[in-house]
Structure 1
Amino acid sequence: MTFSLDILLIPLAYLIGSISFAVVVSKCMHLPDPHTYGSGNPGATNVLRTGNKLAAVLTLIGDALKGFFAVMLARVLLGDESLTATLSSWVLCGVVLAVFLGHLFPIFHGFKGGKGVATACGILFGVNWVLGLATLGTWIIVATFMRYSSLAALAAAVFGPIYFVFLFGFQPMGLALLVVCALLIWRHRSNIANLLNGTESRIGSKKTPS
């Protein structure tokens, strides 16, 4: 691809990221708009509050796959050197940030998006499967022992860029993943406050309906 066409991958990634599977799945399964109940967050956890586990699983898979698809599409079109070649790597960085920002601020859904955990996971697997697996493993370990989904997400967000540097050294993608990490932490600011004051719900705990 020429450089001018490469650049088009960035807005395309944003549009892919803007597809909110919480909204799409809810409409297809005749469930309420996820913005209108619970936390108002269009993500798998909030969709689960409807009691429809299938809808929550489909939302989780869809949000992860869109991150994975956008990155893999860019990698295929940019070539195998996209993680290290200067020009291609910066375009791929743009794709990573665009698909994540699309999820956070989706143009198709009034710029009201989710927190980005599943999409970030898909992005990491798209960049490198070992990176994705290591970060997912971090989430699983923290979630298993601490039983806080939000804390597990925060830990995984912090370690994701660290794992990348360990695997690939200091590359532009590390900076992009650091931005993703910062945005994910920012989106979890209410969860951080709840963790600090002891009101964050644990995995498997019964929550009173909002």
Structure 2
Amino acid sequence: MIIIVTGTDTGVGKTVTTAALAVRYGPGTIVVKPAQTGIGTDEPDISVVERLTGCEVAEFTRLEDPLAPDTAARRRGIAIPPISEHTARIRELARTHDTVIVEGAGGLLVRLDNDGGTLSDLAAGLARDHLVQVYVVTRVGLGTLNHTELTVNALRSRNLEPAGLVLGAVPKTLGLAEECNLAELPRVTGVPIVAALPDGAGGLDPERFRTEVDSWLSDCP
């Protein structure tokens, strides 16, 4: 199986969601980050996943500036691999692993190569010959309805039906918008909320993180 983790924006909780899914699927899982930017500014996403889960990881492209991958590459005059190459490498990993989890960069339509290829293109290409599940990680607060519906509609335009919505960082205390959006998100998108990760989950020690994953992903298929 190939799982794609995308988000409505940057900083919504994709990396922690990716780690949680890796724990859920267990041995035989590899996590792939096709493009990582901002190397040297923060702990790389793939390192966060490896620390929290202990699972096998792979990173295809590393770029210095904390920008969208194609912007970071063009700024430095770097040629980065096309989506077709990423797709081929992921297919090969799927031959030797039970589950491949792919974490995107930023939102669904962020360019991952110099030719305008996106995570949407990668997912659609993989879905031609593999079982692909796509999870959309989103915020629960004000503004999330528009961003989430746009992302879901973009996936459906590629014949990709999301497997579920994941709330990436749910605060301990919910305000009016958060309370309403728990019902509004599935209503406006037609996609169920299948997981809710508490704010700060990525800061837990690995043992506690792994112990609590099942409670966060209780409705995840």
Same fold (TM over 0.5): no
Give the TM-score normalised by structure 2: 0.28
Question: If each structure's helix is expressed as a fraction of its own residues, which one has the higher value?
Answer: 1
TM-score by length of 1: 0.29
Higher relative contact order (CA 8 A, sep 6+): 2
